[in-house]
Structure 1
């Protein structure tokens, strides 16, 4: 195995500029132009790399031109290559290296190594039984706007970070100009990869830029790709631990500059495509489990997820938007103005059991909307409902959808004034969108929650809009408003100099601003009753933007990080609860407080994120604390995970459980649970202690402690040691270590495989 240490400051290698002194290496290696010799990818040999040892990217060549295969793979003499190595019982087949299929299909979950992993709320050996009592978001009227996808986003949603990469930029091998904007000189495949490249040109894209890279996981990333070619990296120091055809193991050294992934050359007969850069630890599971577990843990307590930003609703393209132009799952990135593939959004809501809020593109034609509705009907788990909204803030002049609605309204002659024509077009197209969804769902239309929304700050503007809507209001179930507060416009230079204010001064201005929020809530509560709608919030939270100067920006950011921001956020939450959520008229879907947004980088454009990066300690986020303490005060659900969790390996059961209403313990049993040997007590401050897995190679168990506001802390223990001791782990190390195929995952809720739980409190 080779070990290469490469630095971004080195000059660009000319290996790809092939001439008479340099062979092509059969696309199985890279030519060194100085020596005129090929450096073969692992698994290939010969002066021109023409000998294929059969490693399949998972081993190294031997002297006899066979392969020493990696763990999870074995050598097949008959096929002369490494193949998946499984020891599966009951006649099932391999579904991956060292991973067995399940005897029975998993109805509402995913099979992994012989057992099902259920979506939230489902239990049983095949995930066929729904139990709302085992859901962290049960009865909770709080939703979340998820952040958009970008190469700089600090919210890591996918374990394959290429899904959050930028669009390709073009460069030349012989110069150092950043982005030559020569896309038109390249023929592109339907999946967004180059079908071929001019000999002097490369294409590249950024991932993990800025805070995403600073706070991102460390360790060995796996680069996977299909086709023939050469992949390179720059802008970051890195170490290649394995360089096989189609698969690399790369360690990137910490930095905020991001990782620049480059296609240096590609075979026009079999172009490089389907590039994946997998976060450390997730190579085995990335195809079946695409979402990053810490991201999932952060959102499990919300009853609804709004996908406005993930769908790139603001400025969505193209116009018109047709079904054939939608973003597909196999495209080279999920970022961009077409938004994320709808399939991923449906899958995400299925996993966490949250109702999706789908914003329809402003220029979507009827066929697009029908297909969107049909895909959702066919794929969404049966107990979930769907919030349906036409576009987003069509009144807001900074967005393309506002310009579009005015143009379309004027074309249709809806009014002589463009602003009012746009308002009337919104009402027209919103109603048509709802009717298209209802036609698809038919008798199941009660699962739909059509939402009508207009401007919150100017009451009379919204009054005019809903008067025009008139009897069409019956097509909708919800009237949605915002719940932002700006603390008496504290960042506005015309009113205050924020740099001269203490944190307590800003808090006092937030208190001064509270009556405005209360007035808004009363006004729109009365409006919703008048039109027989339920009042809910599509976005809300602190809205302190400051682009005036750096000092003002820093001061606004400091308040968002200060303990007093929790009090200010709690004030608005409590006002909303008293006026809207607790109103007997305003039952579901009314009363939903939809926070904006989950994660974002704080800047002069606002500190919108509840948290600043995936993996942040929630106790350092006052806005997180405000929302989750609000949930605890008002919603009767303290479920944070299963009361008992088990892993069965051979004849030993490992588990975490509560005995006789005492502290939660973890331990092991060699007689199927008749007797338990308790391990050292981990914590007395726990709502749930969850055993996530057992590493059969290293004999380690992995346990999460979840407290009463859904904060996870992570631990492992080597059970083979004489003196047992817990070791704490970072969130990224925990999930890196618990994810490989060598770790047996915990059994599903309610599936005990004959384990005696009579002496345990597992309900």
Structure 2
């Protein structure tokens, strides 16, 4: 059976943090079961951003995934008056501690007395243990849990709460395309917080973890990561369109360098370096990190020093400047074009990447971990000219180059009739010769420059754009194709072997787990606890990746 692979077109949207991806084509072998080289590539995974609507919990404490603070009038009214935690642009009236909790509630903003509130995900029924520290008044509610107000008199108190009727992530929505349900929600309000002993350290410990430490990772999540060589945390770090210029977080608002005690790991600051390094150290895995595009030199140095001091000995750290700076749909592309000197945008990107590489090499060398650093320059798979130019300004400091070889089909208009499953698997065959030449050109570039070739992302992408994404029948077809046996076989018999045969040393799939929908079916799993296997109800793409690697160690 003839197969083909393509990358996503620039301008497409995604339900994952409103991501946009780029159009790039890459081809696979026309013969099912293409052979791999003797030295099989390592396989990694991207991790989906942490939010209150994520498809699974990576923490035992689900409050770590709560949304950014919202504000509402004490007297009642609007759900969000807009004075809450908005990162660097947070209203001056909303004063935050370095752990992100408000210094006092209520506070006055816009001439109105305001309180703060947020949502946190609920993933299972059973007994959840809620922790609160400080003095004030809080209110909580959730699935099967009526709104409950508690007056806190100081110290740490706990409340055991039984959740019933939470969403089953394996179940489908009642109407519309055959999409899975998202998590249910906790609603947490801080109505009063004492300025001398403010409400803080809120925890919602999930069933089975009631007595676990605040920072414990979900055991199933760690087990799933155990298969992989490297995990990339571009989305964990909220890299795309980041508004931050510094790492130091001295006022709770302005920097990305939050601690594990910060109220949420699900805000625009991203996940704490401490958590990322803890996960790498506990699982004995390598990491791939991305540095926000507008960071000052101080921001780069501070971030580099933090990772250098906290990553364990022997753990490889791939460092990349921002993400897809060549993709004009991201703010980092326009920022680099406007703020960096150079002959063209790829060379400007190389200049900024070189600054990041210098900062990280200096800090890692000082920590005695210089050999653990891999400085990675990323480009567009369809156009090796981009990386060729980026290497002009960053080549001497670069260890590896990376591309994102997606495969699939992009429907820019609604086809009539809709294609069959077989047609979806075969109808891009005509572009394969030119696509293979693109892959070969990056292999040639890497060899000619003495660099290692990696994939920062990759996998399938079947999607509608230009309005066709709103057609429910097309969405149904494409998500069902992602569950189909043909997709499993594209991964295990064709795609993985084809990428491997072109000299790629590390393939980092995108992404481990996320909900599927009209913007794409990104996740290898539809929810984090989905069983992995070849059956229709199991995570077939994840199984296909694992099956290939198991047979190509």
TM-score, reference length from structure 1: 0.58
Deviations 1:684-738 (A, max 9, x none): xxxxxxxxxxxxxxxxxxxxxxxxxxxxxxxxxxxxxxxxxxxxxxxxxxxxxxx
For 1:398, what is the secondary structure of its paired residue? Answer: coil
Deviations 1:470-520 (A, max 9, x none): xx4232111101110123x3x2317x45x6112122122355565555333
Shift of 1:243: 7.5
Shift of 1:240: 9.4
Corresponding residue of 2:513: 599
Corresponding residue of 1:433: 356
Matches within 5 A, 1:233-244: 233-234=140-141, 236-238=143-145
Matches within 5 A, 1:598-617: 598-617=512-531
Contact 2:496–2:548, Cα closer than 8 Å, also in 1: yes
Corresponding residue of 1:458: 383
Corresponding residue of 2:217: 291
Matches within 5 A, 1:300-319: 300-319=226-245
Deviations 1:342-376 (A, max 9, x none): 11100000011111111112122223323333333
Question: For 2:125 and 2:143, how far apart are their aligned partners in 1?
Answer: 13
Q: Indicate the structure whose relative CO is greater, using CA pairs within 8 Å and at least 6 residues apart.
A: 2
For 2:356, what is the secondary structure of its paired residue? Answer: helix
Corresponding residue of 1:126: none
Structure 1 residue 565 and structure 2 residue 487: aligned?
Answer: yes
Shift of 1:580: 1.6
Shift of 1:226: 0.8
Contact 1:453–1:480, Cα closer than 8 Å, also in 2: yes
Matches within 5 A, 1:397-408: 397-408=328-339
Change beyond 3 A, Cα 1:402–1:156? same
Structure 1 residue 223 and structure 2 residue 130: aligned?
Answer: yes
Deviations 1:386-426 (A, max 9, x none): 111111111111112112101112xx4x24xxxx1x32221
Of 312, 315, 325, 1:384 maps to 315
Of 160, 169, 172, 2:70 maps to 169
Corresponding residue of 1:680: none
Matches within 5 A, 1:8-407: 141-183=42-84, 184=91, 185-198=93-106, 201-208=114-121, 213=122, 216-234=123-141, 236-238=143-145, 246-253=157-164, 254-255=166-167, 256-287=183-214, 290-319=216-245, 322=248, 324=250, 325=255, 326-407=257-338
For 1:618, what is the secondary structure of its paired residue? Answer: coil
Structure 1 residue 492 and structure 2 residue 417: aligned?
Answer: no
Change beyond 3 A, Cα 1:513–1:294? farther
Contact 2:105–2:190, Cα closer than 8 Å, also in 1: no
Contact 2:400–2:454, Cα closer than 8 Å, also in 1: yes
In structure 2, runs of 5+ residues without a counterpart are 1-38, 85-90, 108-112, 168-182
Shift of 1:552: 1.7
In structure 1, runs of 5+ residues without a counterpart are 1-137, 582-590, 636-763
Change beyond 3 A, Cα 1:313–1:528? same
Change beyond 3 A, Cα 1:292–1:197? same
Deviations 1:279-306 (A, max 9, x none): 112132223x521111111111111111
For 2:442, what is the secondary structure of its paired residue? Answer: helix
Contact 2:139–2:150, Cα closer than 8 Å, also in 1: no
Aligned length: 467
Contact 1:242–1:250, Cα closer than 8 Å, also in 2: no
Question: For 2:162 and 2:148, how far apart are their aligned partners in 1?
Answer: 7
Shift of 1:162: 1.2
Question: For 2:140 and 2:148, how far apart are their aligned partners in 1?
Answer: 14
Shift of 1:548: 3.9
C-alpha RMSD over aligned residues: 2.6
Question: For 1:627 and 1:514, how far apart are their aligned partners in 2?
Answer: 22
Question: For 1:463 and 1:565, how far apart are their aligned partners in 2?
Answer: 33
For 2:457, what is the secondary structure of its paired residue? Answer: strand
